[in-house]
Amino acid sequence: SGTPEVLLSARELTKRFGGLAAVNGVNLDLWRDRIHAVIGPNGAGKSTLTNLLSGDILPTAGTVTLGGIDTTRHSPEAKSQRGLGRSYQKTNIFSSFTVWDNVRLAAQSRRRYAPWNPAQWFTRADAQATTNASCERAIELAGLTSRTNTIAATISHGEQRQLEIAMTLATEPQVLLLDEPLAGMGQAEAERMVELLLKLKKGHAMCLVEHDMDAVFALADRLTVMVNGQVIASGTPSEVRADTAVQAAYLGE
């Protein structure tokens, strides 16, 4: 797949909530075909960082570049159209809808089709067909094909997290921001999710916020450690593991 590319760059990204710097001067590069894990204790600023990268909140300072374009003040929809997809720490699923309808809705709400753009008026039918194909592919990739017509409330917790991934994949993103995809999972579910994330590594640049250290060390090519909004260490997993400041502040070894 050619030379690796930086698909997303954050520079000196900062978010203040009143007096609190929830994210403070963070630099981050996400490369195609690589998983970049972000770890840190509760309150470290990981979800806020994800929200800044996705455009769900605007930074106080700093920049977010997507595919070489400065998207710092772009809306989440505009970023989605530029190839960014995200999942949420708290579930985003309509539990009374089927798996298919959840994925279809996610694809539609973030679709690339822009009704205000006359250049696209005559491609609408094509866009619909493309969306259906994308949804099918997303559900298959996430391992939920047999659940396509099942009501979301009745699938297992692990499958609901897979559904979150399918909803994110439905817009065919190149950059994936995943906030704690293993949260609340048992061992078998977590192992299945690790397999899925490994499969998604190819073709995507992934930012993985995760507490499960077994998963993080199994998956991450690069690792950033945040404490109190700041990056205290960044590097390969073995570099970070060897960092004494990280051991003292976080890993507790």
Which positions touch ligand ADP (CB under 6 A)? 17, 20, 22, 40, 42-48
Taking the mean position of all CA atoms in its chain, how far away is CA 160? 16
Angle of the 157-169 helix axis to the 99-109 helix axis, nearest 10: 30
121 binds, among ligand ADP, Mg ion, none (CB under 5 to 8 A by kind): none
Instruction: State the minimum distance, in angstroms, from the CB of residue 18 to Mg ion.
Output: 19
Go through the chain and tell me how many residues it has. Answer: 253
Q: Say how far apart CA 204 and CA 7 lie, in whole Å.
A: 9
Q: Of 141-160, which residues contact Mg ion (CB under 5 A)?
A: none
The residue nearest Mg ion at its CB is 47
42 binds, among Mg ion, ligand ADP, none (CB under 5 to 8 A by kind): ligand ADP
Instruction: State the minimum distance, in angstroms, from the CB of residue 51 to Mg ion.
Output: 9
DSSP 143-179: T-GGGTTSBGGGS-HHHHHHHHHHHHHTT--SEEEEE
Q: Which candidate, 85, 64, 72, places its Cα nearest to that of 172?
A: 85
Task: Report yes or no: 57 and 15 within 8 Å, Cβ to Cβ.
Answer: yes
Closer to Mg ion by Cβ: residue 89 or 130: 89
Which pairing describes strands 175-179 and 84-87: parallel, antiparallel, or unpaired? parallel
Instruction: State the minimum distance, in angstroms, from the CB of residue 178 to ligand ADP.
Output: 13
17 binds, among Mg ion, ligand ADP, none (CB under 5 to 8 A by kind): ligand ADP
Closer to ligand ADP by Cβ: residue 20 or 69: 20
24, 47, 160, 171: residue in contact with Mg ion (rule CB under 5 A): 47
Instruction: State the minimum distance, in angstroms, from the CB of residue 123 to ligand ADP.
Output: 39
